[in-house]
Amino acid sequence: MPIQELPETLVNQIAAGEVVERPASVLKELLENSLDAGATRIEVEVEQGGMRLVRVRDDGSGIPADELPLALARHATSKIATLEDLTCVASLGFRGEALPSMASVSRLAITSRADGADSGSRVTVSGGELTGPEPAAHPRGTTVDVRDLFYNTPARRKFLRTERTELGHLETVFRRLALSRFDVAFQLRNNRRVSASLAAAADQAARERRLRDTLGADFIDNAVHFDYETGGLALSGWLALPTYSRSQTDMQYVFLNGRLIRDKLINHAIRHAYRDVLFHGRHPACVLYLAMDPARVDVNAHPAKVEVRFRDGRLVHDFVFRTLERVLAETRPKAPEQRAATMPARLGGSSPPAQQRMAVDVREELAAYGALHGHAAHGGSHHAPASHAAAALPAASAGTGDDDRHPLGTAIAQVHGVYILAQTDDGLVIVDMHAAHERIVYERLKASFEANGIARQPLLVPVTVEVSPPEADLAERIADDLAELGLALDRVGPGSLAVRELPAVLIGADAAALVRDVLSDTREIGGSQRVRAMTDELLATMACHGSVRAHRRLSLDEMNALLRDMESTPRSDQCNHGRPTWTRLSLAELDRLFLRGQ
């Protein structure tokens, strides 16, 4: 075949292969356009899983009649004009290819009335043929209809799944976009029935209501809100308590300047922040909002713009990691009053106050708690009893000077050699003594390790590790940094390394595996936390062996000392495996359990 230029419609259909995979991708592009147009209210209508119709209607700035055909032209956009603009994109779209791509594989209509215009107009495209613009009634804003997706590309239509599945994808997109902008009202109608209606959320309580409506009550009832900013980087959002975890990473939402992103660095930072408080194989849940100068990130790295490139990835990684770790370090026993004083944002929140909970809930929680400890090894899906969760909110501003208060109360007995019972001002606290002590010992080991630096020990016989030549290059380049962490190695061949020295706590560990992990970490995130993480794992094992066993008799003094230690130990709301260490039953809850005063 001779070289020839492809017809425009075919070019657009090829581009559509990248941005339009299924009805949900149509919805994503249309919603992003509405948000870019400054909409405050967006209505979505879908039929037959979006395969028959995806319609998005907004009250944004609209498109002037004479620009309507342009909106459908390839590489035509109102969002950037110069290369300079491309380096600091503040809008969700900027490539000018979504509408022409969708128009090439569907029957598409745009009806719009621009800001200030006194009437609306409409263009339609079908089979590459543009009709209009012609006058059409429309209030300020835009409606885009995408019908019969892939009607002219049967090969692609075959990849569509059942209505149910496609609807699921549409709902996922709707949820993500709804979480990206609390200030915009969203409505979703499926086959003419309203299935979601979200009012604009102006305050914290309303935002948490939206989280409840989109992610379910479990998440928000077990999450803490935080807000932190430094050096031009801001991170806020909700972190699920370690005692509420998931088997998948499906409830991790990360928004960068309002755009949902998927980023290896940030995912790593999240995982790493929870490493100490989560059971192996469990994943944290969170909704995070990261904000920075758009010039510090390249969003033009991926056609669907979900992947981004940070100018300084390492800095962003460390900022996210440290912020989350600090929030999680505050998960330790707090008195209810302290919580109220330090978390004003949640006071008006929509979570039902613990006092309103039914007695039967409390009983179920206790049962669940007992069952959890009986089958701890499974680490099954479980979330903290609500009373416990509520007590674990971080006291970001309260400081720790509040020593005269004892949130965990005074020990009164040991039960079955496993639990400590303590009486508090307003009820009863039950502590799993082994789990709690394990955390305390672990945190102490870590602290002394940090304070005294890393004790290193030379290997009697150096361990040789075979890696690829580029990996050996990398190892050579970062050898000084690794030596500081106690890992000393030399290059002894194009693809061979010799490990001479290890951190003392890691003597006996698999040095080859450690080196390989360190190198792959360094390649991926530009720095290695692997040595530290492995050290922590070892300290955790030591802590487990070094802490009080179940069935050891403790005196009241010993029990009280343990309670006081818990109160001052970071992360002590959960043991080293992410299980809760204590729970609280208030007098009110006890009263309800016995139907007192009713």
Binding footprint of ligand ADP on the chain (CB under 6 A): 29, 33-34, 37, 58, 60-63, 71, 77-79, 93-99, 142
The DSSP symbol for 574 reads: B
* Residue 435 CB-half CA count within 13 A: 24
d(CA 466, CA 458): 20
Q: Is the CB of 59 or the CB of 438 nearer to ligand ADP?
A: 59
Cβ 63 to ligand ADP shortest distance, Å: 5
CA quadruple 109, 115, 120, 123: dihedral positive or negative? negative
Q: Is the CB of 13 or the CB of 583 nearer to Mg ion?
A: 13
Instruction: Give the β-pairing of 410-415 and 419-424.
Output: antiparallel
Out of ligand ADP, Mg ion, none, what residue 318 binds, judged by CB under 5 to 8 A for its kind, is: none
Which pair of tokens denotes residue 76? 């035509």
How big is the site for Mg ion, counted in residues (CB under 5 A)? Answer: 3
In this structure, the number of other CB atoms found within 10 A of the CB of residue 163 comes to 18
In this structure, the number of other CB atoms found within 10 A of the CB of residue 243 comes to 25
Residue 513: what residue type? A
Contact (Cβ atoms closer than 8 angstroms) between residue 344 and residue 261: no
Residue 231, sorted as left (phi over 0), alpha (psi -120 to 50) or beta, turns out to be left
Out of Mg ion, ligand ADP, none, what residue 55 binds, judged by CB under 5 to 8 A for its kind, is: none
Q: Is the CB of 58 or the CB of 567 nearer to ligand ADP?
A: 58
Residue nearest to ligand ADP (CB): 93
**531 touches Mg ion (CB under 5 A):** no
Q: Is the CB of 34 or the CB of 581 nearer to ligand ADP?
A: 34
Binding mask 77-116 for Mg ion (x = CB under 5 A): ----------------x----x------------------
Out of Mg ion, ligand ADP, none, what residue 34 binds, judged by CB under 5 to 8 A for its kind, is: ligand ADP
Cβ 102 to Mg ion shortest distance, Å: 10
Q: Is the CB of 258 or the CB of 462 nearer to ligand ADP?
A: 258
Q: Is the peptide bond before 570 cis (omega within 30 degrees of 0)?
A: no
Out of ligand ADP, Mg ion, none, what residue 95 binds, judged by CB under 5 to 8 A for its kind, is: ligand ADP
Contact (Cβ atoms closer than 8 angstroms) between residue 574 and residue 243: yes
Cβ 263 to ligand ADP shortest distance, Å: 21
Out of ligand ADP, Mg ion, none, what residue 71 binds, judged by CB under 5 to 8 A for its kind, is: ligand ADP
Cβ 309 to ligand ADP shortest distance, Å: 18
Cβ 27 to ligand ADP shortest distance, Å: 13
Which pair of tokens denotes residue 347? 């006071």
Nearest in space to 188 (alpha carbons), one of 376, 384, 43: 43
Among 33, 323, 424, 581, binds Mg ion (CB under 5 A): 33
Q: Is the CB of 60 or the CB of 284 nearer to ligand ADP?
A: 60
| 420 three-state secondary structure | strand
**Burial of 155 (C-beta count, 10 Å sphere; 0-12/13-18/19+):** exposed
Q: Is the CB of 11 or the CB of 512 nearer to Mg ion?
A: 11
Cβ 373 to ligand ADP shortest distance, Å: 54
For 244-280, give the DSSP string.
S-BSSSTTEEEEETTEE---HHHHHHHHHHTTTTS-T
Q: Which helix (H) or strand (E) holds 188?
A: strand 185-190
Out of ligand ADP, Mg ion, none, what residue 96 binds, judged by CB under 5 to 8 A for its kind, is: ligand ADP
Out of ligand ADP, Mg ion, none, what residue 528 binds, judged by CB under 5 to 8 A for its kind, is: none
**Binding residues vs Mg ion (CB under 5 A):** 33, 93, 98
